Chain A
Amino acid sequence: MFISPLKSPAPAHIAQDGRRDEEGVPLIELRQVVKKYQGAAGVVLALRGVDLRVKVGEFVAIVGKSGSGKSTLVNMITGIDRPTAGEIWVGGTAVHTLGEGQGAAWRGRHVAIVFQSFQLLPTLSVLQNVMLPMDFADRYPVREQRDRAMHLLEQVEIAEHAHKLPSAVSGGQQQRVAIARALANDPPLLVADEPTGNLDSSTARSVFRVFEDLVDQGKTIVMVTHDKDLAQRVERAVTLADGEIVDDRA
């Protein structure tokens, strides 16, 4: 059903040192990651020395109760937030060292993010939402961005709604648009925070199939989910509790 946006074969991701990724070479590596927040009630320890390795092409579910640190963990991986201590390496990049601007530029090219509540910009059409990351990353010529966005929308079977505003399409369709937007710059890693949390079970299954297709095409996916059924369908589930990994099963 889902074809790679770039119509490329299974990926041959290259690490920063030029070495070709092989079995066992992690795309993501977290070393003793600690995150503390200064809240109104005092210091909150959201992550307590997390170690995690995710290989290229893996489909990993991060599960755990509310407040267990799942979202904090994916914010660390995407560089949206910085750790209090520890190291985060993604595709050979020391994400923990990136400043906000560097982090945004890196994220734009290397990480796709899918949010629970879609987070499409309400005043842009579906097509323009998908074009936006390409514009920011300046990875494709402006004249190609529209064609590529349209192509991505075709891949997620939503092209007929390209010129509608997000509010004019259903939640499932908005999530498909969000996935198309995430893939706009063809990043090797897709991080999804509760991507099916706002969808009914049928639509959630449909969106999950899109993710499975992406993994088949070589993308690495890290997905935060509450849905135990979905978590069981992925090849690896990492369980967090109180900021620590308490289970990691393949």
Chain B
Amino acid sequence: MIRARWYKVLNDLWGNKTRTILIVLSIAVGLFAVGMIVSSQAILSTELAKSYATINPSSGTLRTNEPFDDDFVQSVRRMPEVQDAEGRRSFGVRFRVRSEGAGDQAEEWRNLQVFAVPDYANMRINKIRPVSGAWPPPEHELLIERAALQLIRAQVGDVVLIETPGRQVREMRISGLVHDLSQLPAPIDGTPYGYIAFDTLEWIGEPRGYNELHFVARDGADKDEAQRVVNLVKDKAEKSGLTIPMSMTAEPGQVPLNDVLQAILLLLGVLGVLSLLLSAFLIVNTISALLAQQVRQVGVMKAIGARTRQIMGMYLVMVLIYGVVALLLAVPLGTLGARALSRYMASLFNFDLTAFHVPPQAIVLQVVIGLAVPVLASLVPILSGLRVTAAQAMNTLGLNNGQFGKGFIDRL
């Protein structure tokens, strides 16, 4: 058996469906945005960290001007501060996709960063994973990082012309795709990545030696320790006669892309919160208008025995119903939105989602915000509206007997 006062609340809600729908939708939009962002943030952070851990990321990378060999790599590996080290060669070339019958006018030369790994089958640091096609890269052929495929506007099986730093032009077939999470995603970086066999280096005019040293500091190293190890390795390299034009330190356990990802999610989160604030303003406006419209009803209720807290309870329950209905819409939609956003961001940041679990705290946060924001937003207009006495409300004495409008809340 429902109490009569709740009939009034329900009838007021149902009696003005347009107002109810507008408020519910405005709250739901904000909640949806917040839920989607919070869930995506949790999912993407977890999944990116998981994916990143599988490649065994380097804690330091040195680039050298001169080539070095396995002996130097071994000597670094033997350093007590270093857990493991590997050498690679990377260099920039220009490329264009060979187009049948189009001649040299077909396409402009574009840049391609090429990596050569001595043993693709036994990579231990910054591991590259095959995605499709040939593996490891066949001699004189090229594998492309999967996220770079759209950038080079070619397909697996196409042939590209490579112009080496020595101005030689070679034809190389794209024979497969790989996934290299240690590099910035090509669409973000703007440079596509290609991978060749170490034996292909001399064929395209590159020396058969490393110019990149990737190494991992011992377990437990923090950022300072990682930097210290980079400096030690750098000293060692320079003492061996190598010139180091560039060195990079990665904070152990931290995913470099995570900062960018979090920045984007933060921006989206701010938009979500702004949307929620807008809905709060709409609630303030609507409840103020509702109470102004119902001021006589408030007076009548007080006259027939309602205490202010009972009437306040009615309006707060009305606002809570707005919140609950908005939650019923926003939570499932937020989950769907989080799934879509996570997939999109994972694809943009070039990593795979292995699981999709909406964290319970994201749901709890939505529920808390969904109930608290409407209630808090409506408190001022409700308190202000209910301060009016029964006599004032019913206008039996004239609405203004000299008191209303003098209080702090009235002046808001």
Expressed in whole angstroms, the Cα–Cα distance for A225 and B84 within the complex equals 101
Stretch at the interface among B117-125, B140-148, B375-383, B389-397: B389-397
A81/B389 in contact, CB under 8 A: yes
Q: Does A202 contact B (CB under 8 A)?
A: no
Q: Is the CB of B4 within 8 A of A38?
A: no
Known: A101-B308, A119-B394. A124 touches B3 (CB 8 A): no
Interface residues on B, range: 20 to 34
Q: How far is the CB of A32 from chain B (nearest CB, A)?
A: 20
Name the A residues within 8 Å of B5 (CB-CB): 132, 135-136
Contact A105 B307 (CB under 8 A): yes
- The verdict on A100 contacting B389 (CB below 8 Å), with A39-B398, A131-B4, A135-B5 known, is yes
Whether B7 lies near A128 (C-beta < 8 A) is: yes
A37 to chain B: closest residue by CB? B401
**A-B contact count, CB below 8 Å?**
110
Chain B's closest residue to A119 (CB) is: B300
Expressed in whole angstroms, the minimum distance between the Cβ of B278 and any Cβ of chain A is: 28
Interface centre among A40, A71, A136, A146 (most CB of B within 10 A): A136
**Stretch in contact with the other chain, from B8-16, B240-248, B349-357:** B8-16
Residues of chain A within 8 A (CB-CB) of B402 are 37-39
Q: Is the CB of A123 within 8 A of B310?
A: no
A225 CA / B13 CA spacing, docked (Å): 37
| CB nearest to B12 among chain A residues | A123
Q: Once the chains are docked, how many angstroms separate the CA of A211 from the CA of B107?
A: 99
* Cα distance, A133 to B394, chains bound together (Å): 17
The answer to whether A10 has its CB under 8 Å from any CB of chain B is no
Q: How far is the CA of A154 from the CA of B308 in the complex (A)?
A: 31
- Chain A residues closer than 8 Å to B305, beta-carbon distance: 104-105, 107-109, 133, 136-137, 185
Mark the stretch among A58-66, A72-80, A235-243 that contacts chain B.
A72-80
Task: Determine if A145 is an interface residue (Cβ-Cβ < 8 Å).
Answer: yes
When chains A and B are docked, how far (Å) is the Cα of A181 from the Cα of B300?
12
With A128-B7, A131-B4 in contact, do A75 and B397 touch (Cβ < 8 Å)?
yes
- Bound-state CA distance A37–B1 (Å) is 44
The CA of A217 and the CA of B327, in the complex, are separated in Å by: 54
Residue in chain B with minimal CB distance to A38: B402
Contacts of A122 in B (CB 8 A): 297
Residue A168 lies at the interface, judged by CB distance under 8 Å to chain B: no
In the complex, B94 has a CB within 8 A of chain A: no
Q: Which residues of B contact A128 (CB under 8 A)?
A: 4, 7-8
Provide the bound-state CA to CA distance between A104 and B311, in Å: 11
Given contacts A81-B397, A119-B394, is CB(A132)–CB(B304) below 8 Å? yes
Alpha-carbon separation in the docked complex, A171 to B400 (Å)? 28
A40 CB contacts on chain B under 8 angstroms: 400
A162 to chain B, nearest CB (A): 13
- Scan A128-161; emit 1 where CB is below 8 A from any B CB, else 0: 1101111111000011011000000000000000
Q: Are B15 and A123 in contact (CB under 8 A)?
A: yes
**Cα distance A125–B400 in the bound complex, in angstroms:** 31
Cβ–Cβ contact B397 & A134, under 8 A: no
Q: Is B296 an interface residue (CB 8 A)?
A: yes
Answer whether residue B153 sits at the interface, using C-beta atoms and an 8 A cutoff. no
Whether, in the assembled complex, B306 has its beta carbon less than 8 Å from a beta carbon of chain A, the answer is yes
The answer, yes or no, to whether B302 is at the interface (CB within 8 Å) is yes
Q: Tell me if B309 is interfacial: C-beta within 8 Å of chain A.
A: yes
B4 touches A132 (CB 8 A): yes
- State how many angstroms separate the Cβ of B160 from the closest Cβ of chain A: 73
Q: In B153-202, which residues have CB < 8 Å from any A CB?
A: none
| In the complex, residue of chain B having the shortest beta-carbon distance to the beta carbon of A43 | B402
Of listed B12, B397, B402, residue having the most chain A CB within 10 A = B397
Q: Judging by beta carbons under 8 Å apart, are B397 and A145 in contact?
A: no
Complex interface: chain A residues within 8 A of B302 (CB): 80, 100, 104
B274 at the interface (CB under 8 A from A): no
Complex contact B303–A136 (CB within 8 A): no
Q: Which residue of B lies closest to A72 (CB)?
A: B397
How many whole Å from B158's CB to the nearest CB in chain A? 70
Residues of B within 8 A of A145 (CB): 1, 3-4
A121 interface residue (CB < 8 Å to B): yes
Chain B's closest residue to A122 (CB) is B297
Measured between C-beta atoms, what is the minimum distance from A176 to chain B in Å? Answer: 16
Which residues of chain B are near A231, meaning CB under 8 Å?
none
Chain A hits for B1, CB < 8 A:
142-143, 145-146
Interface string of B276-307 (1 = CB under 8 A from A): 00000000000000000000110011111111
B interface residues (Cβ-Cβ under 8 A, vs A) = 1, 3-5, 7-8, 11-12, 15, 296-297, 300-310, 389-391, 394, 396-398, 400-403
A39-B401, A80-B390, A131-B4 given; 17 more Cβ-contact pairs under 8 Å: A38-B403, A78-B303, A80-B302, A80-B303, A80-B389, A100-B308, A101-B307, A107-B305, A113-B303, A122-B297, A123-B12, A132-B5, A132-B8, A134-B4, A136-B5, A136-B307, A136-B310
Question: Could you tell me which A residues sit within 8 Å of B by CB distance?
Answer: 37-40, 71-72, 75, 78, 80-81, 100-101, 104-105, 107-109, 113, 115, 119, 121-125, 128-129, 131-137, 142-143, 145-146, 181-182, 185, 193
7 contacts between A and B (CB under 8 A): A38-B403, A39-B398, A100-B308, A104-B305, A104-B308, A105-B305, A132-B5
